[in-house]
Structure 1
Amino acid sequence: MKRAPNRTPNIHFFDDKIRSSYVAKFSTDTASNVSNHSPRRIVAVGDLHGDYEQTLKVLKMAKILDANESPDCLKIYELFDRLRQEAKEVDGQVINLIGNHEIMNLILNWIYVTPEDIRSFGGVQNRIHQFSSEGYIGNLLLNTFQIASIVENDTLFVHGGIDLKWAKKGIENINSLGKELVNKTTKML
């Protein structure tokens, strides 16, 4: 467990062994006494990197899904969109957070994009279109993704962490600014 710097009291960072993913638990408890008092189970998954098979393995391991299909970045977005809708039906919730890879795709920084991934979209132009404001993924990013989310009234989820000066702006402002950025960027594609 990593403690936050002294300038941010009452925030404890837990490295959950998922690369670059951190959960900040807001609590007045000491770090050694922090526990999850929520009656609901929270599963955090981070940095899927377009690897559909690994995504399925993680979701199976978390007992969220029982499936086995081939890798495809687009399928990951479709899967989480479906899971988000299914979760609502059973009073659950799937929260999708915008991370660095979404932003990289929006600015056409494809250093992590494989030729197979481009082919799975049907080519470069189709992939760009999918991330645009008129495309499926662009619409998901605009309408269902967030920069930050508080779950169960006391647990903040963000991708990769959040700087104190941004945290002071509040969740609504952070998400509003993030949505504005995504909106402008998807319209440029």
Structure 2
Amino acid sequence: MRAAVWAIVAAFGCDRGHSREKPAAPVPTAVPDRATSTAPASSTPGAAGCTLAPILARHPAPKRLVAIGDVHGDLAATRSALRAAGAIDAQDRWIGGELVVVQVGDVLDRGDDEQAILDLLFRLEDEAKAAGGALIMLLGNHELMNAAGDFRYVTPGAMTDFDEVAKDRLAALGPGGVYAKKLAAHNVVAIVGDTVFSHAGVLGDWATQIEAVNGSSRCWLDGQSGGPQ
């Protein structure tokens, strides 16, 4: 029997509900245009010479599955979504048991609480696993944009959010940075039961290249390759 999927929308989309003013010119980025790129996908997971071990991208169908969308630096909204899902208690501890939660990326940008949200989700991953459940956090385009030094959507308050762990934001989130390496432990695409999860969909050409797509982004964030597919 197919698991029921509950979707909790923490934000309506990357660019809805925000100012329509044209953003500042982007910082040059190493992230390719995925909609138009004609470069062939790698036939092997990740980049050549990358030493990262693959991480699980395919998960069995759980009894209960919840998807949470963009939280964009809003810790209160993140907690609210997790509590509505029955995943955490008032002390932010995992109480979901065997519940599986998929957070589909875009933790970064537009809000001031990015580091606190990442730390919360990283901790809950361990607590959920210990309880027989799972919190599956995916990489969104804003995680990759920040790794590439594209800070157009960073709030003034968040610009110094990672200063306690690195000399500046890019040192924390750029390839090989302390938080980039933490993000490198996460995929772009996950399959739970017969449901495919990613931040903005999966191109048809990628359907048989999920491991390579995941691996290339992870190896880049870890500082071991030139850029994700």
TM-score normalized with structure 1 length? 0.70
Deviation at 1:97, TM superposition (A): 0.7
Residue among 83, 93, 103 paired with 2:144: 103
In 1, distance between residues paired with 2:169 and 2:136?
A: 23
Residue among 66, 70, 82 paired with 1:47: 70
Residue among 212, 221, 224 paired with 1:173: 212
* Residues 1:182 and 1:120: Cα distance change in structure 2 (over 3 Å): closer
Q: How does 1:74-153 map to 2 (within 5 A)?
A: 74-122=115-163, 125-142=167-184, 144-152=185-193
Residue among 81, 84, 95 paired with 1:61: 84
Deviation at 1:119, TM superposition (A): 3.0
Q: Deviations over 1:53-107 (max 9, x none)?
A: 11111111112123489x6110111001000000111111111111011011111
* Residues 1:39 and 1:17: Cα distance change in structure 2 (over 3 Å): closer
In 2, distance between residues paired with 1:100 and 1:15?
A: 23
* Residues 1:74 and 1:45: Cα distance change in structure 2 (over 3 Å): same
* Residues 1:39 and 1:108: Cα distance change in structure 2 (over 3 Å): closer
Contact 2:188–2:198 (Cα < 8 Å) also in 1 = yes
More helix by share: 1
- 2:95 counterpart of 1:72: no
Contact 2:181–2:221 (Cα < 8 Å) also in 1 = no
In 2, distance between residues paired with 1:137 and 1:186?
A: 17
Q: How does 1:146-161 map to 2 (within 5 A)?
A: 146-152=187-193, 154-161=194-201
Q: How many correspondences in the alignment?
A: 156
- RMSD of aligned Cα (Å): 3.1
TM-score normalized with structure 2 length? 0.59
For CA contacts below 8 A with separation 6 or more, give which structure has more relative contact order: 2
Aligned counterpart, 1:4 = none
In 1, distance between residues paired with 2:133 and 2:6?
A: 24
Aligned counterpart, 2:38 = none
Deviation at 1:15, TM superposition (A): 10
